[in-house]
Amino acid sequence: MSIKQLAIYIFFIQAYSAKYTPDWKSLDSRPLPQWYDEAKFGIFIHWGVFSVPSFHSEWFWNYWKLQKIPDVVSYMDKNYPPDFTYADFASQFTVEFFNPREWADILQASGARYVVLTSKHCEGFTNWPSKYSFNWNSNATGPNRDLVGEFSSAIREKTNLKLGLYHCLSEWFNPLYLSDKEANFTTNDFVKFKIMPELYELVSKYKPELLWSDLCEKKGPASYWTSREFLTWLYNESPVKETVVTNDRWCDVCLCKHGGYHTCTDRYNPGTLQKHKWENCMTIDQRSWGYRRNANIEDYLSVHEIITTFASTISCGGNMLMNVGPTKDGIIMPIFEERLRQFGSWLKVNEEAVYGTVPWSHQNDSLTKDVWYTMRQTNNEGTVVYAIVLSWPEHSVLKLFEPLATPVTLVTMLGYQGQFIWIPGTEYQGIYIDVPMISWNKLPTQWAWIFKLTFIDN
């Protein structure tokens, strides 16, 4: 039995035999399902009524009515009548061009191994016909469709991606939530009659293998949200109890402490190896998670910037969850599709250095900047280290300080035929790789290159 097979066997023995209790010590002891760590890359999709105004960000309602941000207030004053309400936007959330099978094709091409769709954001609008959201859901107004259901079916039929669902616990303007907040969360009518019934319904109906919880307001203890009781059910009794993965946004003090993997903050990327599995949830549009009609081209990350973020993330043990925001009519705009397909083409060449790898003893090189490492143990090639090189080597020599080569070390580039000549570094520390001039049209990718080093001694 290989090491990987043994790890899977041990996980399932632990998962099947464990019975978790509603306290953090027990819940936090649950092993993280292995598929998540191996996946490395997922796609986040922010989509809802906020996609109709598609101005400023997905927090549009909050910015308009609570924070009263001047440019949002001015936008509404100039373009809508005085009696227009946020709820009036829902009828314009038409999604007439939404083809979940086309979305599935784009997501598959991106190289992602999981996807997280917004089931409900802070506005409270559910993208499925929830019995607990009455007329504020996608089947009662606007699309008149079960968006989560259609998307889930397409992902499972057309791709090998794991299905994840985003669900926000708090709702800015729900009267029950506002009443509980006014009582300093000593009452929990909102949780009892709205949130928990809705959440049990969501998991039971669509069976997501990743549940991405959020709190738009970082308020309310776990005792108010009954988060521990829900997670106990999720891990012990739910239809996805063996494989489901969760994050850490379950109460006001849960971030970076409790739940499944850690997200800590949006766009969390510490740059150093972490003791606990973590995720960098980030956006292609650097200023918003939801689609923005007024975005400028410089607001979007280039594919090289995406790869740079990804390299630093996986080298330090994280996953990257990259967000796109579809339009109100159900289109993933060409600039998002281009970035996804470009990144997918890079991953297709370099997947050996990504999926199923683990952090090495060194995360980046101390001699040459813009070099990040991953590694895997193999039976035939010993310790294999992958050097993700973000900038082409100067003077045709790639100088790496960290790897200690052995006499049988071979150096290759993923996607490129042939081996590279190397010598030990100064005072036999590190390795100097001869990188001859190569025509750009013969390189496997345009943006970053991965050198594979076998039989490394450290």
| Tens digits of residue pLDDT in 268-311 | 999 999 999 999 999 999 999 999 999 999 999 999 999 999 99
- 435 pLDDT more than 80: yes
Q: Which of 107-111, 169-173, 241-245, 443-447 has the lowest mean pLDDT?
A: 443-447
Per-residue pLDDT tens over the stretch 3-31: 555 555 555 555 555 699 999 999 999 99
- 73 pLDDT more than 60: yes
- 1 pLDDT more than 60: no
φ and ψ at residue 68, rounded to 5 degrees: 50, 50
Rg of the chain on CA atoms, in Å: 24
pLDDT score recorded for residue 425: 87
- CA torsion through residues 280, 283, 288, 291, sign: negative
Q: For residue 246, give the nearest of 39, 27, 4, 15 by alpha carbon.
A: 27
Token duo for residue 328: 């109100």
Task: For residues 412-433, give the mean pLDDT.
Answer: 91
φ and ψ at residue 155, rounded to 5 degrees: -65, -45
In contact, 65 and 76? CB cutoff 8 Å: no
Question: pLDDT band at 440, cuts 50/70/90?
Answer: confident
pLDDT score recorded for residue 6: 57
Task: For residues 215-240, give the mean pLDDT.
Answer: 97
pLDDT score recorded for residue 395: 86
- 343 pLDDT more than 70: yes
Per-residue pLDDT tens over the stretch 353-404: 999 999 999 999 999 999 999 999 999 999 999 999 999 998 899 999 999 9
In contact, 252 and 220? CB cutoff 8 Å: yes
CA dist., res. 210 & res. 203, Å (int): 10
Token duo for residue 279: 């995720």
pLDDT score recorded for residue 190: 98
- 140 pLDDT more than 60: yes
Percent of the chain at pLDDT exceeding 70? 96
In terms of Cβ atoms closer than 10 Å to its own Cβ (0-12, 13-18, 19+), residue 275 is exposed
Q: Which residue do the tokens 């992958």 mark? A: 386
Percent of the chain at pLDDT exceeding 90? 91
Per-residue pLDDT tens over the stretch 180-216: 999 999 999 999 999 999 999 999 999 999 999 999 9
- Following DSSP, what letter does each residue of 19-56 receive, concatenated? ---SSHHHHTTSPPPHHHHHH-EEEEE--SGGGTT-SS
Single pTM value for the model? 0.94
Q: Provide the angle, in degrees to the nearest 10, between the axes of the packed helices 227-236 and 196-206.
A: 20
AA identity, residue 375: M
- 97 pLDDT more than 90: yes
pLDDT score recorded for residue 229: 98
If one compares 446 and 72, the residue with the highest pLDDT of the two is: 72
Which helix (H) or strand (E) element contains residue 3? helix 3-17
Query: What is the β-pairing status of strands 162-168 and 210-214?
Result: parallel
Strand runs (DSSP E) across 216-317, as ranges? 245-246, 278-283
AA identity, residue 40: K
Task: For residues 133-149, give the mean pLDDT.
Answer: 96
